[in-house]
Amino acid sequence: MILPTNTGFEQTVLAGMLNDEECFYEGLSFVDAEHFTTSENIAVFQRLSKKEEMPSANILMKEVENSKEKSAIRVIDSTWTNRYDFQQALNGLKEVFKKRCLYYSIEKLKSRFENEKTDKLIDDFTREVSDNALNTSGQEIIDPAEHASDYLSNFYEIYGNPDLSKGIPYSVTDERGRTKGLPALDETFNGAQGGDLIMVAAKTGEGKSAFAINLSRIFSMHQSYIGYYENTEMRVEELLSRLLAPIAVVKSNEIETGRLEGTESERNEKVSRISSAYEAYRQSKFILSRVPHLPLFKAKGLAKQVRLRHGGLDYLIIDYIGRMQMNSNQNSWDELYEITKALKELAIELDIPIFMLAQRNQAGEVEGAKKMMNECDGVLFFEPTSEDDNEFIRQYVRSDQQQKVNYRIVKKKVRRNDNAAPIYCMFDKSKSLIVEAKRA
């Protein structure tokens, strides 16, 4: 039996990634180096996977010293035709890869023929072939006889230490007992769980990006989680100034414009704190981008590229869904629903929480929200407080903070928690800092 390969499929897929932006990100989304078989094709794919944007064949060849690899790039580039041929080759390449996995399973089985019993060989081969054919994680069919004891052991483990069941913490407590972040969200979601899609919605100018930046600061600056912020609106300098302002204890617009307030001594002290904040950012695992045009295929491809380049990805923030597209002919509400559904699938596939920012209209709702909410594990509205909140604030917020409370997080949907009480916050817009109010 001959090892299944198809270098024609490999070259057509790589040609698409060199000549069409959509093909470039689709390739990053659906294949990896294991799908290719020749050393040259593997090398070309690995070079492409490290690029933030689609390079041309000429650009790629300038980086290559090996004449054999240069020749391979020329041949690959010459095979480019159109997206249809790319898609056919991509599907064919994935099918050949499955056959190659099957081939290796058969070869492994043959090596065990003399020493294993027939039933054991059949069981192991059936399980392995099924996993390869379905591309499973082993959780599609969970047999209680096989797995009950494992899940019971897991229960005893988390019973002894409940923090083991927690996702990425929304809050951290330092050695002096000071809490940063949003501890009420930890109670609500038990941390940011892998596979969850959380919608964060606000009206224009009311802080949806500030909310997301606060999450990034908690996850990647006060902790060490690898995060990717797909930003469609703000300049990178503006986003970073908002991220670092509370760490430097300086207003974000002072960092962004360089116009520091105060005496010369005070300005020098601010410069020192800002420098320290940027050093903390340099050492963090917070990855960001500015992508004004963000079709769905690009959002998915970039996320997988970050995971590949940085050795993992713990959470993803999309800012915001209103600027995403699917290149379809659907009306905007149906398209937003399909994008939401695709992001939920991506959260499950990557086993990470995804935070999807959304715009509320003047009536306070998200366009097409009902269908979108069905796909989300949590929907949070971030909004200013009103007079209707005053009685609750007087009753439940610590007296020294009552006058400072100006915002609240409304839980429009939480899949695993029935506490509907809003979370009251103090939002300092000048520093882009959201602090949860302490309970009375």
Query: What confidence tens digit (pLDDT) does each residue in 253-312 have?
Result: 999 999 999 999 999 999 999 999 999 999 999 999 888 878 888 888 889 888 888 889
- Which residue type is seen at 350? L
**Tokens 């290796």 -> residue:** 104
* Nearest CA-CA partner of 321 in 196, 201, 193, 194: 201
Is 113 or 258 the better-scoring residue by pLDDT? 258
How far apart are the C-alpha atoms of 367 and 198, rounded to whole Å? 16
Helix residue ranges per DSSP H, 331-431: 332-350, 369-375, 390-396
Condensed to tens digits (0 to 9), the pLDDT of residues 399-437 reads 999 999 999 999 999 988 878 889 999 999 999 999 999
Give percent of the chain with pLDDT exceeding 90. Answer: 50
Q: Is 383 helix (H, G, I), strand (E, B) or coil?
A: strand
Looking up tokens 């004449």, which residue turns up? 67
Give pLDDT, residue 125.
63
Q: Are 168 and 355 in contact (CB under 8 A)?
A: no
What stretches of 20-143 show up as alpha helix (H) in DSSP? 21-30, 39-49, 57-62, 67-78, 83-110, 118-134
Residue 31 has pLDDT above 90, yes or no: no
Of 130 and 143, the one with more pLDDT: 143
What CA–CA distance (Å, rounded) separates 28 from 17?
9
pLDDT value of position 269: 95
Instruction: Identify the residue with better confidence: 254 or 22.
Output: 254
Of 215-219, 369-373, 392-396, where does mean pLDDT reach its minimum? 369-373
Read off the pLDDT of each residue in 133-137 and give the average, rounded to a whole number. Answer: 49
pLDDT of 24 > 70? The answer is yes
For residue 136, name the pLDDT band (cuts at 50, 70, 90). Answer: very low
Return the pLDDT at 132: 54
Query: Is this structure's pTM higher than 0.85?
Result: no
Which domains does the chain carry? 7-134 (1.10.860.10), 171-436 (3.40.50.300)
pLDDT tens track for 36-63: 999 999 999 988 988 878 888 888 888 8
φ, ψ of residue 254 in degrees (nearest 5): -70, -40
The tokens describing 437, both together, are 């109010």
| 59-88 per-position pLDDT tens digit | 888 888 888 888 999 999 999 999 999 999
Per DSSP bridges, beta strands 315-319 and 378-384 are unpaired
DSSP string, 147-183: HHHHHHHHHHHHHH-GGGG--B-SEEE-TTS-EEE-H
How would residue 134 be classed by pLDDT, with cut points 50, 70 and 90?
very low
Angle 83-110/21-30 helices, nearest 10 degrees?
Answer: 20
Judge whether residue 177 has pLDDT over 70: yes
